[in-house]
A and B are shown apart, each in its own frame.
Chain A
Amino acid sequence: MVILFVHVSAVIIALGASLFSTFALMPVLADELDPPERLRVGRRVIRRLGAIVLTALAILVFTGILNVLLIGAVSQLLAAKLVLVVIVIALALYQHANLGARIWALSAQGPNAAIVPLQERFRRIGFTVGLLVLLIVYLSLGITRAGGVTAAMMVR
Chain B
Amino acid sequence: MASGPQRESRLLRWLTLVLIIVGELTTLSYAMSAPMALRSLNPSTGAWWDAHQFYFMEAAATALGLLIGIRIGRRFVVGARRRSRMLILAMILAIIGFVPLLHICAASARLGWSAGDGSTWSRIVDLAGFAAAKQLDKVLIASVYFLKIVGFALLAGLALIAVAVVPSSMMEEARTGSAG
Seen from chain A, the residues whose Cβ lies within 8 Å of a Cβ on chain B are: 40, 43-44, 47, 50-51, 54-55, 57-58, 60-62, 64-66, 68-69, 72-76, 82, 85-86, 89-90, 92-94, 96-98, 100-102, 104-105, 107-109
Contact = CB atoms under 8 A, between A and B. Distances in A.
A47 B173 contact: yes
A93 B162 contact: yes
A78 to B, nearest CB: 9
B114 A74 contact: yes
Main secondary structure of the interface of B (DSSP, over half): helix
Interface stretch (B15-23, B25-33, B164-172): B164-172
Q: What 5 A-B pairs have minimum CB-CB distances, sorted nearest first?
A: A108-B180, A61-B159, A93-B76, A58-B159, A54-B162
Interface string B136-180: 000000000000100110111011111101100110110010111
Given A44-B178, A93-B77, A108-B180, A65 B162 contact: no
A96 B77 CA distance: 8
A76 B114 CA distance: 8
Contact of B114 (A69, A75, A85, A86): A75
A76 B113 CA distance: 8
B107 interface: yes
B123 interface: no
Contact of A65 (B155, B173, B178): B155
15 contacts: A47-B169, A55-B162, A57-B162, A62-B156, A65-B104, A73-B111, A74-B112, A82-B151, A82-B155, A86-B154, A89-B158, A89-B159, A92-B162, A93-B161, A96-B169
Interface of B: 72-73, 76-79, 82, 86, 104-105, 107-108, 111-115, 148, 151-152, 154-156, 158-163, 165-166, 169-170, 172-173, 176, 178-180
Contact of B160 (A58, A100, A102): A58
A104 B172 contact: yes
Contacts of B112: 73-74
Contacts of B107: 69
Given A65-B155, A92-B162, A97-B86, A108 B176 contact: yes
A51 B169 CA distance: 8
A86 B158 CA distance: 8
A32 to B, nearest CB: 18
B152 A90 contact: no
B178 A40 contact: yes
Nearest to B79: A101
Nearest to A110: B180
Could you say which of B151, B169, B176 has the most chain A C-beta atoms within 10 Å of its C-beta? B169
